[in-house]
Amino acid sequence: MRVVLKYGGSSVATIEKIKAIAEYIVNLKKTKYDEVIVVASAMGKTTNALIAMAKEISETPSQRELDSLLSTGEQQTVSLLSMAINSMGQKAVSLTGYQANVKTVGVHTKSKIKKIDTERIEEYLKDDNVVIVAGFQGINDNGDITTLGRGGSDTSAVALAVSLNCECKIYTDVEGIYSVDPRLYSEAKFLDKISYEEMMEMANLGAGIMETRAVEIGKKYNIPIFVGKTLSETGGTWIMDMNDILEDKLVTGISVTREIIVTTLSKIEYSSERIAKIFSIINEVGLNINMISQNVTNDGMAKISFSCVEGERYLLEQAISRIKEDINCELDYQDNMAMISIVGVGMINNSGVSGKFFKALSMAGVDFYQVTTSEISVSCSINRKDINVAVERVAREFNL
């Protein structure tokens, strides 16, 4: 029996933690699993430190070179972990994304995994090695190192589990998944199970515990994903098919994106081609936007607002620079905003959820602005200062 284990940055932040994980893995291989594959992130805040160094060189560093730089963080971790396991008498080998044959497509810093050729990994497993793969990275058709974006090690782990046909366990510094971030709402309920659909939506809307693409891959290939606390034998949440979950909740959880920028382009002479051009440019630079609103006045002038996370401000600036070259408009930023969302598959067959959500915000004295919905979620932008009161009121409204 085999398993893929993934350890996040906080779990491998120090040499002491790496040694403890190595000991755990060696014991796990002796007692439970014949074959163990490990995916590891960069130690602690290494990725942030590397980005900061790049920004000292250039405010707009080459994305290709940035990928090459960022990939070194995970390489450091997997080498150290391999050394630790070997020192305990268990054979282990570390592999970069390139060495593990993780093939990617897409733009630098946000690539996607196209396929994984597992032949080399299988050879090492047959030779009784623990195989430790650098998460977050791969190689494209040009032979360039690429990275998968924030949280990409989750994606690496699930993709490996699919390719190796085994279960996937994601280990982090929390017990599992809660209905609400316990740091925002201390009475948040622990979730033993959550559907792929709900977890994807919550992750996409700001819940930082899992990466959206990772859950999407798990759903596509029906690979249950376990999320638990590093070195703990208790707790944990299974992400799985909704048909395997018996609970029928109206709303499962709340997601919050703390820092968003709402950008408004106004006094645009309206035409469908002009509006399409704006969003084409946004797509070309790789900017992810989450909420959009558009208004066209009687005199044919349009106003468009859209939001993105603060972490992609550099992409927003690239997009705006290109938009203003082609389109006459006025520009306004609101960078003191946040986004709050409710998520639940129970919304599919129940009406009135939006009304309860907005009433709860109103009763808490929280103003809300842009609104977006899906089949299983409702989101809106609010002032960042109102996050705590908004979360508490909505959580109590839906018994979360």
pLDDT digits (tens, 9 = 90+) for 137-159: 999 999 999 999 877 899 999 99
Q: What percent of the chain has pLDDT over 90?
A: 52
Q: Would residue 206 count as lying in a domain?
A: no
The verdict on 276 and 166 lying in the same domain is: no
User: d(Cα 168, Cα 161) in Å, to the nearest integer?
Assistant: 6
326 membership: H or E segment, kind and range: helix 313-326
What b/e readout covers 299-324, taking b as 16+ CB neighbours within 10 angstroms? eeebbbbbbbbeebeebbebbbebbe
Q: Would residue 55 count as lying in a domain?
A: yes
User: d(Cα 341, Cα 381) in Å, to the nearest integer?
Assistant: 9
Report pLDDT digits (tens) over 235-260: 899 998 877 665 667 888 999 988 88
The verdict on 114 and 16 lying in the same domain is: yes
Average pLDDT in the 150-170 region? 93
* pLDDT at position 79 over 90: yes
The verdict on 148 and 259 lying in the same domain is: no
Q: Percent helix, strand, coil in the chain (nearest 5)?
A: 40, 30, 30
Residues in the chain: 400
The verdict on 161 and 271 lying in the same domain is: no
CA 314 and chain centroid, separation: 19
* pLDDT at position 304 over 90: no
Q: Which of 253, 217, 257, 258 is nearest to 237 (CA)?
A: 253
The verdict on 165 and 292 lying in the same domain is: no
Q: Would residue 317 count as lying in a domain?
A: yes
User: d(Cα 163, Cα 131) in Å, to the nearest integer?
Assistant: 14
The verdict on 167 and 258 lying in the same domain is: no
The verdict on 168 and 264 lying in the same domain is: no
Q: Would residue 210 count as lying in a domain?
A: no
The sign of the torsion formed by the CA atoms of 213, 120, 27, 86 equals negative
Where among 110, 141, 173 does a domain terminate? 173
Q: What percent of the chain has pLDDT over 70?
A: 98
Each as own residue / partner, the long-range contacts of residues 221-226 (CB below 8 Å, 24 or more positions apart, any chain) are 221/162, 223/158, 223/161, 223/162, 223/167, 223/168, 224/167, 224/168, 225/158, 225/168, 225/169, 225/170, 226/167, 226/168, 226/169, 226/170
User: d(Cα 244, Cα 348) in Å, to the nearest integer?
Assistant: 17
> Structurally, how many domains does the chain consist of?
2
Cβ neighbours of residue 123 closer than 8 Å, sequence gap 6 or more: none
The verdict on 278 and 372 lying in the same domain is: yes
| Average pLDDT for the chain | 90
Contact status, residue 228 vs residue 171, Cβ threshold 8 Å: yes
Q: Would residue 120 count as lying in a domain?
A: yes
The CATH number linked to 381 is: 3.30.2130.10
| Two tokens, residue 305 | 């607002």
DSSP-assigned letter for residue 142:
T
Q: Is the pTM of this model over 0.85?
A: no
The CATH number linked to 18 is: 3.40.1160.10
Where among 173, 207, 242 does a domain terminate? 173
Distances (CA, A) of 74 to 71, 81, 120, 142: 6, 11, 19, 21
Angle at which helix 353-363 crosses helix 387-397, to 10 degrees, equals: 130
The verdict on 141 and 43 lying in the same domain is: yes
Where among 148, 173, 198 does a domain terminate? 173
pLDDT at res. 351: 76
Pairing state between β 330-343 and 377-383: antiparallel
The strands making up 130-134's β-sheet, listed across from edge to edge, are 92-95, 130-134, 35-40, 2-7, 167-172, 225-229, 237-240, 193-195
CA 244 and chain centroid, separation: 24
The verdict on 157 and 259 lying in the same domain is: no
The verdict on 266 and 160 lying in the same domain is: no
Least-confidence region, from 55-69, 149-163, 245-259, 327-341: 245-259
Q: Would residue 49 count as lying in a domain?
A: yes
Q: Which of 134, 130, 184 is nearest to 156 (CA)?
A: 134
Computed on alpha carbons and rounded to an integer, the radius of gyration of the chain in Å comes to 22
In terms of pLDDT, which residue wins out, 398 or 247? 398
Q: How confident is the model at residue 118 (pLDDT cuts 50, 70, 90)?
A: very high
Task: Give me the domain span that covers residue 16.
Answer: 2-173
User: d(Cα 202, Cα 379) in Å, to the nearest integer?
Assistant: 11
Residue type, 320: I
Q: Would residue 189 count as lying in a domain?
A: no
pLDDT at res. 362: 92
The verdict on 294 and 159 lying in the same domain is: no
Q: Would residue 320 count as lying in a domain?
A: yes
Q: How confident is the model at residue 73 (pLDDT cuts 50, 70, 90)?
A: very high
